[in-house]
Amino acid sequence: MSATSPKANAWAGLAAIEDANDKQAGLKSIRARIEKYLDGAEYDELTKTERGALLITGSGTVKKSGIPVVFAVGVFEASPDQLAAAAFVADKNVEDQYKEAVRYMCKSIRAGDELAEPKHEVAKPINRN
């Protein structure tokens, strides 16, 4: 699944990672894909979120257009046996605000089991007799 901003200065995608059996391998696969589309990809320090997702941010230049961009990718467990990645790429002109917003979004990624409604204990009726 992917989407592009109305001005085409930002792109986001979500995909299952089929060629990796752990998050480190998934991250390696994602880096290879980044380098397929960007020249001079530079990576910031790897971050591990509270929920265990691996997050990389960085910058590069789009091979086809020559536009400088920033990116953020989170690799996480979508289910016990399935890795997924959420990727965000934007024109470098919006770098600082964009990177912080994406970093926050990647840190808040929730897997299917975390989206289920919490179970609540039913209150007992009060007997006033």
Question: What pLDDT is stored for residue 9 in this prediction?
Answer: 78
**CA–CA separation, 98 vs 71, rounded Å?**
9
State the pTM of this model. 0.72
Question: What pLDDT is stored for residue 5 in this prediction?
Answer: 74
Question: What pLDDT is stored for residue 12 in this prediction?
Answer: 84
Task: Return the closest-CA partner of residue 89 out of 102, 101, 67, 71.
Answer: 71
Question: What pLDDT is stored for residue 115 in this prediction?
Answer: 46
Domains and CATH numbers, the chain: 2-111 (3.40.1000)
Question: What pLDDT is stored for residue 119 in this prediction?
Answer: 52
Please name the residue ranges forming H helices in the chain: 23-37, 95-107, 112-115
Mean pLDDT by 10 residues, the chain (129 residues): 77 87 91 94 91 90 92 89 89 68 61 52 54
